[in-house]
Structures are given as structure tokens and as C-alpha cells.
Structure 1
Amino acid sequence: MRGLWMVALFAACSGEAGAQDAAAGEKIFVVCKTCHQIGEGAKSSIGPSLNGVIGRKAGTLQGYSYSAANIKSGLTWDEATFREYIKDPKAKVPGTKMFYAGLKDEQKTSDLIAFLKQFDADGKKK
């Protein structure tokens, strides 16, 4: 009986570890702020504004000069695609202008995605 209880506890904790945490994602986004803005009043600078990025077609934000590789990638930034990209941008989109070594930690990536998903295309929190 004790063994079953331990298995149930482990299963519950394992599921919790994979949960997305937008507050933790906001802390991870501090690194992204070097090149990207998000929220009301966000503008493109070194990198494009990330308002509404989850669900947006790559290379389509008006007013930002994307690389040809990004424009021609045919990608849409859903969670799975963003997860692959942020792990190693140059591997996912060879020729991208994004100079970032990548975010390898799956939990941090999940948290970052949760943070990004909060913002619609106008920078308002959903």
C-alpha cells in the first residue's frame, strides 16, 4: 500500500513540474529584453516586438526587417515550433539574424511560452 502511495505522489509531482508558469517566464524574458519588447507600447528594435508572437506567421510583423531565411521559413510560431526554435535558432532557421545561443531547459522554455502567450498583438494581456 505504501508503494502505491509513493507512485501516486511521484505522478502528481511529475505532472506539476511540466506546468507553465508565466511569472517565472517573465524572469526568463529579462534576457530577451536585450533585443525584444513586449506589452503595451512595445516596438521592434534589434529584434521584432513579441506581442502576439504565439500564433503569428514568421517574418510578418509590419515594420521589422526580417532576414530572408525567416521570411521564407514558412513557420508559424505555435508552441512546438517556438520550442524548437528557441532551443537553437540557427539550427531551426539557418540564416536567421537572431544571435542567441539557445534556451535548452525545457521548463524554462515552457515558462517563457506561458509569459509570451499572455500578450495579444496589441500588447494587451489576455
Structure 2
Amino acid sequence: MRRTAGALVGALAMGGALFAAAPAQAAPALPYGTVTSPVGLNVRQFPSTDSSVVGFLANNAQVGLTCKVRAQDIDGNTIWYLERGASHERWISARYVANTGTVSYCNTVLTSALSAQLQSQHPHAKG
């Protein structure tokens, strides 16, 4: 019994040392953008200047980016970003935003998010 307890304590101590020695993995940085237009930037309901203005971002404002789509061309740039964390869709033209990090296309991001949501609601369903 004492020998078994000693082996268990030794294994726990060694496992704890191995766990402590393992390098910590940093969480991937979420992409964000910084407004580069000196006059600021309108935030749109859809990725088009024909769409309603639903907000405004000042010059140098930082905003989280969920994903991107190709839509209306703004001065040679067809990319529009979907703002992260908004309760409703908010789009900004990439023409006036310097992004940091990798921004995936929305069809990939939103499809995988929908699949994950459906899988959690119906765990035995096949995708």
C-alpha cells in the first residue's frame, strides 16, 4: 500500500512538472481594422453605398472584423468587412480600413459557424 501511494505521489509530481513545463499557447488574435479616412467612415446595413447608414466610425477608430465579402467597388477596392460583435449587420468598405490579421471570406466563416450551431442543437445529425 505504501509503495503504491509513493508511486502515485511520484507520478503526480512528475506529471505536474511536465504540465508546468509545457509552453502556453497564445489564443489566435482576432482581426481588426483601423479607419484610415481623415473624415471618418459610414457604417452600412449592407455592403453598398446604396444601403442605409447605421453608424459612423471616426478616423483611427478600431473595429473588430468578422469576415469579408466582394461587393460594390469603392475606388478600385471591392472588399467590404462585416463588423464583429454587432447585434445586426454592420458593413464597412475596406477601401478606408487598414486591417490587422487574416480576415476570412464570409461564406467560410458563416457556414462553419452555422454548422457548429446546428451540430450543437442536433448532435446526431450529419453535416
**TM-score interval, normalised by the smaller of the two chains:** under 0.3
Q: Which has the higher contact order (CA 8 A, sep 6+)?
A: 1
TM-score, structure 1 normalization: 0.25
Q: Which has the higher strand share?
A: 2
Structure with more helix by fraction: 1
Alignment TM-score, normalising by the size of structure 2: 0.25
